[in-house]
């Protein structure tokens, strides 16, 4: 029988606390039952992009014989426009939500990321990088570019057809800023990259490792905010995802696909989000590569923030990351 954990753990980078309380889990395996969405091709706006009036940016390899297509979101969270400075509004500050909001669509209606071949995964990674680079040059307001993928209605996917999203923002998101600040402070104090320290410890410890290949490794963080949370890091740490050499793409695709396959097997095809944490578009920290590492975070969705989490900002994780990693590793 697994021992019950009931302890607060502090994230080495952000300084935030997480409560690992396995006794709160009614059962050790939180299986999920996903909400159903319309899976039909007939009603899918991504099956015939021209008929559904989508505004196409470009396709890969081209817009006529596309396997991956970039389009503009019909219902964008931000609007492309002229950069505006911060304004004071009473005691608060506001800034116009300028930016670009794209959708990256994958060709096959029923082939989701966990089903991708490695070649399909490589194409996804390369489209992410190319579009990131274009937005960084085009959107002069952009401080940060977020690349993310929602799978399942519980994870925010309103359309069944596999797709990712890319959003540029004129602000540096607080969670990203916290990671950057924490990594920088650790470097100043210890003259070491905090992510290198974490990776080396996980490699030596091995209990939370899930998957490795020649260039990437995946593990459940010791301070996991969510059950079965996974992070993927490059062995050759770098601050900027978009500057990753093309020869790395197949290894990243392999790691990402393998982790998602394991999650599907262990957790009964859960809804999930994955997102790429990378450096800001423009930064005054010229030596950012010395202390920060881009990475991917994958979060299955089967927990809901309740009063304690919302009131304190402390997440409760009901699954021991060691146990989560063991299950995923052996899947």
Residues annotated as catalytic are: 163
The tokens for 45 are: 């706006």
- The C-alpha atoms of residue 302 and residue 234 are separated, in whole angstroms, by 27
Give Cβ neighbours of residue 91 (< 8 Å, ≥ 6 apart).
none
Q: What secondary structure, in 3-state letters, does the chain show?
A: CCCCCEEEEECCCCCCEEEEEHHHCCCCCCCCCCCCCCCCCCCCCCCCCCCCCCEEEEEECCCCCCCEEEEECCCCCCECCCCCCCEEECCEEECCCECCEEEEEECCCCCCHHHCCHHHHHHHHHHHHHHHHHHHHHCCCCCEEEEEEEECHHHCCCCCCCEEEEEEECCCCHHHHHHHHHHHHHHHHHCCCHHHHHHHHHHHHCCCEEEECCCEEEECCCCCCCCCCEEEEECCCCCCHHHCCHHHHHHHHHHHHHHHHHHHHHHCCCCEEEEEECCCCCCCCCCHHHCCCCEEEEEECCCCCCHHHHHHCCEEECCCHHHHHHHHHHC
The tokens for 126 are: 């390369």
The tokens for 251 are: 């290894």
- The answer to whether the CB of 297 falls within 8 A of the CB of 291 is no
End-to-end CA distance of the chain: 20
């Amino acid at each position: 029988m697994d021992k019950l954990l009931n302890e607060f753990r502090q994230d080495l980078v952000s300084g935030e606390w997480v409560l690992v309380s396995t006794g709160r889990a009614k059962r050790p395996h939180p299986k999920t039952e996903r909400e159903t969405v319309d899976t039909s091709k007939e009603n899918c706006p991504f099956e015939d992009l021209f008929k559904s009036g989508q505004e196409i940016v470009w396709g890969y390899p081209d817009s006529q014989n596309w396997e991956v297509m970039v389009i503009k979101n019909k219902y964008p969270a931000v609007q492309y426009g002229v950069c505006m400075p911060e304004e004071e509004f009473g005691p608060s500050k506001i800034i116009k939500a300028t930016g670009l909001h794209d959708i990256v669509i994958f060709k096959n209606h029923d082939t989701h990321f966990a089903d991708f071949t490695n070649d399909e995964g490589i194409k996804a990674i390369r489209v992410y990088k190319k579009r990131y680079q274009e937005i960084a040059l085009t959107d002069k307001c952009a401080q940060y570019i977020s690349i993310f993928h929602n799978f399942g209605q519980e994870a925010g996917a309103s359309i069944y057809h596999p797709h990712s999203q890319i959003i540029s923002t004129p602000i540096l998101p607080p969670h990203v800023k916290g990671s950057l600040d924490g990594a920088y402070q650790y470097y100043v104090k210890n003259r070491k990259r905090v992510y290198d320290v974490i990776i080396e410890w996980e490699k030596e410890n091995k209990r939370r490792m899930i998957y490795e290949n020649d260039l990437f490794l995946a593990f459940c963080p010791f301070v996991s905010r969510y059950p079965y949370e996974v992070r993927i890091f490059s062995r050759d740490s770098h601050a900027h995802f978009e500057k990753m050499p093309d020869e790395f793409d197949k290894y990243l695709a392999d790691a990402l696909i393998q982790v998602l396959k394991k999650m599907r097997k262990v957790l009964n095809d859960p809804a999930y989000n994955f997102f790429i944490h990378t450096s800001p578009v423009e930064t005054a920290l010229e030596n950012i590569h010395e202390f920060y590492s881009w990475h991917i975070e994958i979060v299955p969705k089967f927990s809901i923030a309740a009063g304690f989490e919302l009131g304190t900002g402390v997440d409760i994780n009901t699954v021991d990351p060691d146990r989560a990693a063991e299950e995923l590793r052996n899947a």
